[in-house]
Chain A
Amino acid sequence: MNEQLAYTIEVFANGLMAGVLYALVALGFVLIYKASGIFNFAQGVMALFAAMTLVGIQNGQVPFAHLINSIFGTDIHYFGWTVHSAFAIILTVGVMVLLAVFVQRFVFRHLVGQEPIILFMATIGLAYFLEGMADLMWGSDIKTLNVCATEGACLPQGMNVWLEGTTYEALGYGFFIDNLDIVASIVAAFLVIGLVMFAQYTKQGRAMRAVADDHQAALSVGVSLNFIWILVWSLAGFVALVAGIMWGAKSGVQFSLSLIALKALPVLMLGGFTSIPGAIVGGLIIGVGEKMFEFLIGAPFLGGATENWFAYMLALVFLVFRPQGLFGEKIIERV
């Protein structure tokens, strides 16, 4: 098999995997947007916050330790225990639900009926707030995230040796694909199936779709908007946690994690804000597109690092021709 072609396919596959991770973040956006019309800019920071909380709980860090130490002159850092991953994840989900209640109760309940752009700017404020909060609680140093089911059975790191071996024997070229990316793809697939099932077959899921369809109609048949919005923010928090675990395990838990959210924006614009399949397809297109562009055009001709802007430019050009995205509902404006 042609070496160059094989390498291209490998870049393609890696792009696909990166796309899955983008789609994971984008999912959280779509959930909130569908149910409440809020474009949640804070989704990426929520992923950062969730991942930091998870690491903090796992390591038994004292929240706000740095702040407490400097106010009271104490010297506390750790409780001195470590928490099992599964338990820590459950606790973190709890924190994310609390956050959802807090956000709904203190922010968006007061902003019901405002213009979408005002809500958008409020979520930018929320993003800053959460970012500062996460740093205050757990410290801003880069942390490594290890999620282990039992001792030694952690999220896999490094490349997949088996895949490389098999493809080398079969095709004469070993494909290099990260173990973690494979796991992330599987998790993302399950997450999407789970969310779709939840939306289709449970009472709360149906109520959620009803609210997404028409707030007032849903209200009039007895759906509690408040509850649904909290539910949706909690779900988005959960998705953020999953995304945070995957990205955090890949590149460490640090500030740049929240910039992934920005990457998810072009994904959404491609896929349309209201469509879960759109988020996935958009994620894959962006993931593959930016890797292929970097490989074929960016690195040889433009001096590299085109990944920073390619996604936005693609979305920008795309939107000029199809403003509602690939799967979005047609935008109809009336006076």
Chain B
Amino acid sequence: MFYREAGDFSTTYAEDQQTFPIKFDRYRYYLVLFIAIVVVPFVVNDYWVNSLLLPFLIYAIAAIGLNILVGYCGQVSLGTGGFMAVGAYSCYKFMTGVDIWWGGELLFRLPEFNIFFSVIMGGVMTALVGVLFGLPSLRIKGFYLAVATLAAQFFLVWLFNRVSWFYNYSASGQINAPERDLMGILITGPSTEPWAAYLFCLFFTIVCAVIARNLTRGASGRKWMAIRDMDIAAEIIGVNPLKAKLTAFAVSSFFVGISGALFFSVYLGAVEVGEAFGITKSFLVLFMIIIGGLGSIFGSFAGAAFLVLLPVALKVVGVDWLGWPTDIVAHLQLVIVGGLIVIFLIAEPHGIAQLWRVAKEKLRLWPFPH
């Protein structure tokens, strides 16, 4: 692929190094941002936000996180659901004030964090847990590691189910997001305005995407990719595998944790851990990056959009138009998703992102193919 355009000259190094060196791409990026930030909040209603936009934005963050680990660093993880749960529960604990007990007595209680910092703390705690579960990756590789991350998935879900400290000893075993505001505007709770929730998530999505994009094209990203392509060779040319793998786990888990925190606090509002963050969630996010494109930030967005839209589209077509029962549509969805995974792996291992790239090149040369 050629990523330079005739007549589009760079005169400074800074210009040459920017994320979107082509003017056309850059302006399109600004346009998308403009629409997302300025136009969308005024036109959306509750249905659009809650069934499409919020899940899309939140899953996009999770997909970016997982893509850093799987697509850029080559360490397959099936523990995404568990890590999202860590984000959600630590966000909850920080929102309601962390209480530390010792010997049956309340030692001290942290003040309740602002929702913004709670979400950030969700990411930080998940990064710590991620590093912990990333440690075995130094010894075990490939699908051995994939299975090892299942340990994280099942252990974490069990932990949040059993230890009542995590859900503040509530009788139902659920966690419920209390009403919290940011500068006087409600962000969580049932009476939140749709546009506020949307903008809050959008902010995190944009920041995460920008950070991820810049990390992956910088030194750390190159190290990750070297490890992915061949870890022994990378080690020989001086990439420290310990540092590279653990930073990948940390950064990836940070994003996944943020998405988990948003998923709980802004999107769902109440969470039962086995249901919301089970193994199916891990697979869902993995499928997003396979379909969207491994090793591509745009692919993470595309995959998230695709798998958020697919069930909605199937429901509209199957249930509303054709009048089929919902369970058939649900089963059909499994068949289609599974089939698509296989088809993408066979036909286009780089996913929608690559299709998009090819289409762009074709269009640029059109109507003359050479």
A interface, CB within 8 angstroms of B: 39, 66-67, 70-71, 107, 110-111, 114, 116-118, 120-122, 124-133, 135-136, 140, 262, 265-266, 268-269, 302-306, 308-309, 312-313, 315-316, 319-320, 323, 333-335
Contact = CB atoms under 8 A, between A and B. Distances in A.
Which secondary structure dominates where chain A touches chain B? helix
B111 interface: no
B5 interface: no
Q: Please give me the 4 A-B residue pairs with the lowest Cβ-Cβ distance, nearest first.
A: A132-B334, A125-B341, A129-B338, A128-B338
Contacts of B339: 125, 129
A121 B345 contact: yes
A70 B321 CA distance: 12
B331 A120 contact: no
A8 B351 CA distance: 53
Contact of B142 (A117, A126, A136, A320): A117
B106 interface: no
Contacts of B142: 116-117, 120
B143 A116 contact: yes
B186 interface: no
Residue picked from A67, A121, A303, most chain B C-beta under 10 Å: A121
Given A116-B142, A135-B327, 4 more contacts: A121-B286, A124-B341, A125-B342, A319-B148
B283 A124 contact: yes
B310 interface: no
Contacts of A313: 151, 155
B354 interface: no
B324 interface: yes
B333 interface: yes
Nearest to B291: A125
Given A124-B286, A131-B334, A132-B331, A312 B139 contact: no
A39 B141 CA distance: 14
B140 interface: yes
B110 interface: no
10 contacts: A66-B325, A107-B346, A116-B143, A117-B143, A130-B338, A132-B331, A132-B333, A132-B337, A320-B139, A323-B140
Contact of A128 (B140, B230, B233, B337): B337
Contacts of A121: 76, 286, 290, 341, 345
Nearest to B345: A122
Residue picked from A128, A304, A312, most chain B C-beta under 10 Å: A128
Contact of B158 (A67, A110, A130, A305): A305
Which secondary structure dominates where chain B touches chain A? helix
Contact of A66 (B76, B150, B328, B337): B328
Contacts of B140: 319-320, 323
B311 to A, nearest CB: 13
A132 B339 CA distance: 10
Contacts of B279: 262
B131 to A, nearest CB: 15
B323 interface: yes
Contacts of B190: none
Contacts of A107: 342, 346
A325 B140 CA distance: 11
Contacts of B345: 111, 114, 118, 121-122, 125
B346 A67 contact: no
A136 B328 contact: yes
A316 B154 CA distance: 12
A120 B151 contact: no
B325 to A, nearest CB: 6
B338 A309 contact: no
Contact of B154 (A136, A268, A308, A320): A308
